Amino acid sequence: MGLGGALAILAQQPFGAWLLSAVALGLTAYGIYSLLESRYRRIANL
């Protein structure tokens, strides 16, 4: 199935466009969070 299949199933639902928009927003937010964390996270030297 994979990611494409899962997104296709979401798209076929009654509110498919809204569901896909929510998934896209969530993935975008996670990407921004990951970029910010990689920039500002400090790891102590052992």
Give the mean model confidence (pLDDT) for residues 25-32: 98
Domain assignment of residue 46, yes or no: no
pLDDT at site 15: 94
DSSP secondary structure letter of residue 15: T
Q: Is residue 45 over pLDDT 90?
A: no
Model confidence at 1: pLDDT above 90 = no
% of residues, the chain, pLDDT over 70: 100
Q: Look at residue 27 and tell me if it is in a domain.
A: yes
Contact 29, 20 (CB under 8 A): no
Is there a domain that residue 44 lies in? no
Number of domains in the chain: 1
Q: What is the pLDDT of residue 16?
A: 92
Q: Is residue 45 part of a domain?
A: no
Q: Does residue 23 sit within a domain?
A: yes
Instruction: Answer whether residue 3 is part of any domain.
Output: no
Structural domain boundaries enclosing 35: 8-39
Q: How does 18-33 read in b/e, with b if 16+ C-beta sit within 10 Å?
A: ebeeeeeeeeeeeeee
Residue 1 maps to a domain: no
